[in-house]
Structure 1
Amino acid sequence: MSLVAIGVNHKTASVDLREKVAFSPDVIHEAMKSLAQRTPTGEAVILSTCNRTELYCNRIQADAVLAWLESFHGIDAEILRQHTYTLQDVDAINHLMRVSAGLDSLVLGEPQILGQVKQSFTKAKEAGTVGATLDRLFQNTFSVAKRIRTETEIGSAAVSVAFAAVSMAKHIFADMHKTNVLLIGAGETIELVARHLKDSGVEEMVVANRTLERAKGMCEEFNAKAVTLESIPDHLPHADIVISSTASPLPILGKGLVERALKQRRHQPMLLVDIAVPRDIESEVGELDDAFLYTVDDLHSIIEQNIESRKQAAEEAEIIANQEAVQFIEWLRSLDNVDSIRAYRTQSLAVKDELVEKALNKIAQGGDNEQVLLELANKLTNRLIHAPTQALTKASRQGDMSTLETLKSVLGLDKH
């Protein structure tokens, strides 16, 4: 059987080592082909992200996979072996399922990893390194990850500031696609906020930033409008949701500016989420009747509660992953049993055909029918019982009672 998973991740290796063992998009196809050539079944899938690099293979020794990885990247063997983990069969299956469900991620339950696993699987299929076993394994894994998302709360609670900000907005505005959003800043956090907003159905977004070109670059992905910070007074009255995250040392939105915007809105409520440190929005804004201001501290308290919620959900998810891994390994073992039965039957039929052919030739040459038939029966019996007899003799001489009892059961001797 010997399904193997070998890898490094954020728990076992530094960023420096993870960078050295990573596979860039321009080499990963050739890498998978090279690795697959080392396996009897030609199967290999490589998962390579910023937090992990993992190699999944079929019917190959773990040492051979590790040696290939050392050779491919030219990394010192001892250093690599100190920071890699090696898993086989049911443990390898369970690990892949846990990874795909976000149970092994830096952020517990994060959904992006499933998409990355699917991309790696697609690349492996394009490279021609996916056979029947790995195809079944990965397809089954995707179903398990979906089941975990459906049956547990592992992904429902926000555990990042960006996700928490958007989740709060969704609780307040039932129909997100009708809302107008003003994002202040164009850094990584605001970009992630914009992505969550787009996934939530928001269609109207304005991004205000000190550098207009930076804002334009981000807006292309989200079909948003880029403006300068100086234009905020013109766009604020139209904003149902304002989310701000800049590196400004002074507040960008003051009480007076927001108060004027609310008057133009005829006091329609406005949600303002300040996830900047130091603050982008003056705390006095929260005193206004129709302004609902939340700060990064408010979000962190929500996140802490949600992390605990995800930990409870993770326990349920672990049970599902373990059960599914055991079921898959049982299916895989059944294939091995089928192969063994097929091989034993083929071998026995070959012996029969050989001896029958010889017997027929003797009869054709004038041999005595009764004598030929008796000889055929004796030879066929001796050939078929030769291996079981040797096994019984060996177990008996070694006093191996467990094997002896198993052989008796298999051969039907325990019924006499």
Structure 2
Amino acid sequence: MNTIDKKNISGFWVVGINYKKTDASIRGQFAINNEQYESILSVAPSFGLNEFFILSTCNRTEIYGFADTADQMMELICTETEGEIEVFEQLAYAKNGMDAIWHLFQVSAGLDSQILGDYEIVGQIKTAVKFAKARGFIGAFMERLLNSVLQSSKAIKTQTQLSGGTVSVAFAAVQYIKEHVQQVKDKEILLLGTGKIGRNTCKNLVDYLHTKHITLINRTEEKAETLAQELKLKHAPLEDLSASLKKADIVLVATNANEPVIFREHLEGNGDKLIIDLSIPYNVSSDAQELSNIKLVNVDELSRIKDETLQKREAEVPKANDIITEHIQEFVDWCKTRKYAPVLKAVKHKLNELCQHQVILMSPKYCDCKDEIQKVINTLAVKVRSENNIGCQYIGAINEFIGTRAGNE
């Protein structure tokens, strides 16, 4: 397969699966962790791919970048997934060119999130891009595109109420507990995992349930201890997981491990428990879910919660789409200018030569004309984009510069 040489809108793709067509168990088979991400990047050149990033969250696994065909991307991403490529192909969507760009803008704004307006996706996109960029997989086109995407997302955040109120998976978990558990203040709550989602969930538990009967466990005990001290809660080492599970009435799992961390033997015969698994793939084993004393809720069920906040957010969608349209147009304008970059570079080089050799009126005064050169280049960029006459504009720019310098003299 040939590596893509032309990095432009027509060569840009997104391929992926999300919550709209797959449940959490299927998405878990195609979730990508950092180790898998690293491996995918290392073999990507052999698939003819050298500019892309992968976004893997509880709601989606997507690959954005340049390819000849969508099949290249599907084949690459499935080299490291538990799920088979045949399943991925049946469930995946593939979008190209402007459709792919529109999709990325929508995702970053929270318009394509399982919970409308969920702003956590922005941080996840930044992390995914940073990982790829550090390994040389983000070029000039995608750098500019992603900057535009983030600017658009920020504008939507500040100029609309699309992310107004408090609605997220972490908040939905707390809402579920409030609605389905009586006398919450008397219940023992165990939270596994104190990463970003776990931390947000923990703060929501404290703020909205007004309880301190919460024990934190994390693979790195120091993180659990720090959060516990901050919120005046209890913490326990991972070695005490079995004992902590036995005592807990409510268990929230935000570990995002590659395999289950809670098994049947942890729960069997240890009383009724509500378990909310916020992880993709599931971090509670399938046989544990079959126990009659266990009520299990996953991210898909939480995301079905509707309230007034979501209704208000839906009313903001047209405003958000208008902002996206504006930023996409600005990006398209930049793309049009970008194809003239070689001409602009050539003109700038020629003008610098004129200065260095003091061709203009043979005066030392013209050895330092950096600002005037840049003004000419800026004017030329506007003209070639609007008039599409490169040759005449090249000559015109040289004449304009010489005329300006002569006039100043």
Shorter-chain TM-score range:
0.5 to 0.7
User: Which structure shows the bigger proportion of residues in helix conformation?
Assistant: 1
How many Å separate the matches in 2 of 1:79 and 1:213? 35
The equivalent residue for 1:317 is 320
Asked if structure 1 preserves the Cα contact closer than 8 Å seen for 2:156 and 2:323, the reply is yes
The equivalent residue for 1:329 is 332
**Equivalent in 147, 150, 156 of residue 142 of structure 1:** 150
User: How far does the alpha carbon of each residue in 1:45-73 deviate from its partner, in whole angstroms, 9 at most, with x for none?
Assistant: 11111221111112533232223234454
**Equivalent in 95, 106, 110 of residue 103 of structure 2:** 95
Asked if structure 2 preserves the Cα contact closer than 8 Å seen for 1:206 and 1:227, the reply is no
Does residue 307 (structure 1) correspond to residue 307 (structure 2)? The answer is no
User: How far does the alpha carbon of each residue in 1:363-399 deviate from its partner, in whole angstroms, 9 at most, with x for none?
Assistant: xxxxxxxxxxxxxxxxxxxxxxxxxxxxxxxxxxxxx
Q: How many residues align?
A: 263
Asked if structure 1 preserves the Cα contact closer than 8 Å seen for 2:52 and 2:137, the reply is yes
Structure 2 counterpart of 1:34, one-letter code = V
How many Å separate the matches in 2 of 1:104 and 1:29? 26
Q: Where do residues 230-269 of structure 1 align in structure 2 (5 Å cutoff)?
A: 247=250
TM-score under structure 1 normalisation? 0.52
SS, match of residue 7 in structure 1: strand
Does residue 22 (structure 1) correspond to residue 31 (structure 2)? The answer is yes
Structure 2 counterpart of 1:18, one-letter code = R
How many Å separate the matches in 2 of 1:92 and 1:59? 12
SS, match of residue 233 in structure 2: strand
Deviation at 1:198, TM superposition (A): 5.6
- Measured at CA, do residues 331 and 183 of structure 1 come closer, stay the same or move farther in structure 2, by a change above 3 Å? farther
Asked if structure 2 preserves the Cα contact closer than 8 Å seen for 1:159 and 1:303, the reply is no
**Equivalent in 12, 37, 43 of residue 21 of structure 2:** 12
Asked if structure 1 preserves the Cα contact closer than 8 Å seen for 2:14 and 2:96, the reply is yes
The equivalent residue for 1:225 is 232
Q: Which runs of 5+ in 1 are unaligned?
A: 168-181, 229-244, 249-275, 278-301, 346-408
**Equivalent in 69, 72, 75 of residue 64 of structure 1:** 72
How many Å separate the matches in 2 of 1:213 and 1:221? 10
Does residue 51 (structure 1) correspond to residue 59 (structure 2)? The answer is yes
Q: Which runs of 5+ in 2 are unaligned?
A: 1-7, 176-184, 236-247, 252-272, 275-304, 348-388, 393-409
SS, match of residue 155 in structure 1: coil
How many Å separate the matches in 2 of 1:130 and 1:161? 30
How many Å separate the matches in 2 of 1:194 and 1:46? 24
The equivalent residue for 1:373 is none
How many Å separate the matches in 2 of 1:78 and 1:165? 34
RMSD of aligned residue pairs (Cα, Å)? 4.5
The equivalent residue for 1:367 is none
Asked if structure 2 preserves the Cα contact closer than 8 Å seen for 1:12 and 1:83, the reply is yes
**Equivalent in 130, 136, 140 of residue 132 of structure 1:** 140
Structure 2 counterpart of 1:315, one-letter code = P
User: How far does the alpha carbon of each residue in 1:199-220 deviate from its partner, in whole angstroms, 9 at most, with x for none?
Assistant: 9x99xx97225x7989x98563
Q: Where do residues 194-233 of structure 1 align in structure 2 (5 Å cutoff)?
A: 195=200, 207-209=212-214, 220-223=226-229, 224-226=231-233
Does residue 123 (structure 1) correspond to residue 136 (structure 2)? The answer is no
The equivalent residue for 2:402 is none
Structure 1 counterpart of 2:43, one-letter code = S
Deviation at 1:148, TM superposition (A): 0.7
Structure 2 counterpart of 1:195, one-letter code = N
SS, match of residue 50 in structure 1: coil
How many Å separate the matches in 2 of 1:32 and 1:194? 30
Structure 2 counterpart of 1:325, one-letter code = I
- Measured at CA, do residues 9 and 3 of structure 1 come closer, stay the same or move farther in structure 2, by a change above 3 Å? same
The equivalent residue for 1:106 is 114
SS, match of residue 6 in structure 1: strand
Larger Rg, first or second structure (1 or 2): 1
Deviation at 1:315, TM superposition (A): 2.4
Asked if structure 1 preserves the Cα contact closer than 8 Å seen for 2:212 and 2:233, the reply is yes
SS, match of residue 100 in structure 2: helix
SS, match of residue 27 in structure 1: helix
The equivalent residue for 2:189 is 186
User: How far does the alpha carbon of each residue in 1:95-126 deviate from its partner, in whole angstroms, 9 at most, with x for none?
Assistant: 11211121111111112111111110111112
TM-score under structure 2 normalisation? 0.52
